[in-house]
Amino acid sequence: MFQFKPLAVAVLAIVSLPALANNSTSTQTQEGDDHIADVFQTQAGRSQATQTQNGSGQIGWVEQEFGRNRAEQTQSGDTNDSYVLQSGESRSRSVQVQDGSLQGSANFQEGGSDNLIRSNQGGSSHLGSGTQLFETNSEMHIRQRGNANDADQYQADGERNNATIDQRGSGNMASTDSFLQRDSQMTINQNGDANEAFIYQDEGDFTTATVDQVGSQNLVDAFQSAQTNSHYTLTQTGNLNGAQIDQTTGNNNQLTITQIDNGNELEAEQYNASMMTATLTQSGSVNYAEAYQEGIGHVLTVNSTGTGNEVYAGIVSGANGQYGTGQTATLTQNGGFNAITLTQDGLQQLAVLNQTGDENSMETSQGGTSNELYFTQDGDGNQLLVDQTGTDNLVDGTSTDDFSSVEITQSGANNQSLTEQSMGSENSIVVSQTDNANLSSVFQAGSFNSATVTQSGNNMISTITQNGNGNTANAVQQ
């Protein structure tokens, strides 16, 4: 594909000559195999080139420059290729339609504005590509129907452009790349199974990237570097889908990922950046999410609904959680067999954790200054472990429970720990505080509850209230 084929001398004679007049029209129709149709129009005003080829091994070529032109190519058969090159155009159109298999289409626009590229391919094993350089207010659309198709788009040094890939079928691949784009949009829509989508954006501003996949065993890989005020959105609906997203060396970017149905996996990393926001939502069963943030002023929100969900705010390349200054994390799970692990390191961290369901477990660690942690567990077999180190830390909690256990360790100054477990059984709370002005209050209602509080330092207050059966309280102050 995309290779000129040896042709007879009689076939070569069909090639059109350059058109220089205004409003010129070139129409070519070819029947058979291994033909070439070639049109070159320059400074031709509102000109049009139309090529229709039926057969196999056909090549259609249209080149237009410095005008408001239209190129239309239609090919039916197998192993056909179509090319459109437009340079210095304004309000020009490139439309390609291919039906068959092993077709290839390529579009190139440079240095124009308000231009349109539209490529429609039906069948299997097609390759569609589009490139726009130094374009403004231009659009590029690739539409493929069938299996094992490949589409790629590239935009650079432009603004207010729109690129879309729409694929229906299985085993398709789509990729979009952008460089130095401003206020532009890139969209990939895939419907089928075992599809792959790749997005790369570099040094853009106010750009939007959107991927929507429907089906099973789909894969998304996205990398954004040095982006500013940009937004990436991914939606996967189906089973056993996977996504890996990296955002680095940028600021004020947003990441929104939604996975619906069973067995999905998600990895999201934001690092060497500032003021980044990540929102991860999983709905279904046996979902798995990893999130890593490093920098200044990041916000992380994770929502899991279903059974067997696991959320690790970290565990990426051996690292955990959020690192930097002023990070905020909110993690919510609803279902059974859920697990949350969060580690924060820096200043002014805030974590909010909520679990509802069966056999949930939370493990968190905060280090730095002015950290706050809130947790809510509602369900069966819940367990929470919290470790804080720093100044002005606060742990608040509520367990409405079965088989719940809370263990809190604080070290620093002005620490507070408040926990309440109600209307459950076999609950246990262990709190250890060290140093200045610490306060611990434990409230339990139910059966088989046990509370242990150890305080060491200055101005400590400990209050334990237990209502129910078989409760044991032990408080030590030094």
Q: Per-residue confidence at 22, pLDDT binned at 50, 70, 90?
A: low
pLDDT in tens, 231-279: 999 999 988 889 999 999 889 999 999 998 887 888 998 888 888 899 9
User: How many CB atoms within 10 Å of residue 469?
Assistant: 10
Contact 408, 430 (CB under 8 A): yes
User: How many CB atoms within 10 Å of residue 438?
Assistant: 28
d(CA 385, CA 341): 10
Q: What is the pLDDT of residue 21?
A: 45
Task: Give the total residue count for the chain.
Answer: 478
Q: What is the pLDDT of residue 183?
A: 94
How buried is 165 (Cβ within 10 angstroms: 0-12 exposed, 13-18 middle, 19+ buried)? buried
* Model pTM score: 0.86
Tokens representing residue 374 in the block: 């809130």
Q: What is the pLDDT of residue 57?
A: 94
d(CA 37, CA 88): 23
**In percent, how much of the chain has pLDDT > 90?**
52
Q: What is the pLDDT of residue 314?
A: 53
Check pLDDT > 50 for residue 19: no
Check pLDDT > 70 for residue 380: yes
Which range (342-356, 394-408, 410-424) has the least confidence?
A: 342-356
pLDDT in tens, 275-314: 889 999 988 878 888 888 888 888 889 888 887 788 887 5
Q: What is the pLDDT of residue 17?
A: 41
pLDDT in tens, 437-476: 989 999 989 889 899 999 888 898 999 998 989 989 999 9
User: Could you please report the per-residue DSSP string of 386-427?
Assistant: EEEEEES-EEEEEEE-SS-EEEEEEEEES-EEEEEEEEEES-
Alpha carbon distances (Å) from 133 to 11, 137, 165, 215, 252: 33, 12, 18, 33, 26
| Average pLDDT estimate for 192-203 | 93
Contact 406, 396 (CB under 8 A): no
